[in-house]
Amino acid sequence: MSKTLRTIFLAHAIVGLVFGVPMLLFPGRFLTWFSWAPIDPIISRLLGAALLALAWSSFRGWRADDKARVALLLELEAVFTVLSCVGLLRHLLFGRYPFMPWLIFVIMAIFAVAWVASLLGLVK
């Protein structure tokens, strides 16, 4: 696996931890810091759990040497980030949202491009 791909896996694991832990433990206070309201605590905690699970898979990808395992993790990460971008963009284009949802979209889009490029073999 390339050094670039390892770096992407590690960066994704860190971002997942940074956003996943507060979303799981105290979503109301965390999202209020970003002027994001109203907040559904159940869905927010489920998102936090999903982000932590993806952070764990990225950590495993960072440590992996097996090409088949890396390919499977790349597919998982690509599907999640691409679908997240599609879902977010649907709302962002037809509503007025504060800065934070746009920032999340940009972060997800960057990772989506990185994962898809890695799957296509463009990241060496």
Q: What is the pLDDT of residues 29-75, one digit of tens each?
A: 898 887 777 788 999 999 999 999 999 999 999 999 888 889 999 99
- 66 within a domain of the structure (yes/no): yes
Q: Which domain holds residue 13?
A: 3-119
Domain count, the chain: 1
What is the reported pTM? 0.85
Q: Are 10 and 62 in contact (CB under 8 A)?
A: yes
Q: Is residue 124 part of a domain?
A: no
Give a yes or no: residue 49 inside a domain.
yes
Is position 100 within any domain?
A: yes
Q: Looking at residue 98, what is its pLDDT? A: 79
Find all residues with CB under 8 Å of 39, minimum gap 6, and list them. 27, 28, 31, 32
Structure confidence by residue, pLDDT tens digits, 86-99 = 999 998 998 888 78
For residue 100, the model assigns a pLDDT of 81
